[in-house]
Amino acid sequence: MSDLVRFGVSLNSDLLKKFDEHIKKHSYSNRSNAIADIIRDQLIEQEWVSNEIVTGVITIVFDHHQRGLSNNLTNIQHDHHDLIISSQHIHLDHDNCFEIIVVKGHSNELKELCNKLKAAKGVKHARVNLATTGQKV
Ligand code: NI
């Protein structure tokens, strides 16, 4: 873990008031943690753009009764096994399945994988959420 560094921030009082409301709403213990989160969010956006290796989850909801869909989704995942760390299948209710797929790779490949899953007939929802440690690889 890297050293903690203190630095001063000058802010307009109205903006600081809004920021403190944001901190309260999101249950941050202090301003430093909130600022660190905002910086990490900005970094992950840059990594998306610069195509760095990132990690994340793809979540999908799909129709359990759609003929051939389970097989289709499994085949897509096997075609991209190098991007997939693990997956979990949840039988959400009588008609719907929910799958959480933990992924790692170039952000454009992860987005492409999510799009392929989304395009399969019977998939009702597909979303990719990426995360970063902030470290370069
Ligand atoms: Ni199921």
Q: What is the DSSP string of 33-79?
A: HHHHHHHHHHHHHHHHHHT-EEEEEEEEEEETTSTTHHHHHHHHHHH
From ligand 1's centre to the CA of 63, what distance in Å? 9
What percent of the chain lies above the pLDDT cut of 90? 66
Does the pLDDT of residue 80 top 80, yes or no? yes
User: What distance in angstroms lies between residue 98's CA and the mean position of ligand 1's atoms?
Assistant: 7
d(CA 71, ligand 1 centre) in Å: 12
CATH for the 53-131 domain, from 3.30.70.1150, 3.90.1150.10, 2.30.30.280, 3.40.50.300: 3.30.70.1150
Joined tokens for residue 129: 């959420």
Computed over every residue of the chain, the mean pLDDT equals 90
Distance of alpha carbon 51 from its chain centroid, rounded? 15
Q: Is the pLDDT of residue 46 over 80?
A: no
What is the pLDDT at residue 41? 81
Distance 94 CA to ligand 1 centre (A): 8
If you average pLDDT over residues 50-57, what whole number do you get? Answer: 84
Q: What is the pTM of this model?
A: 0.70
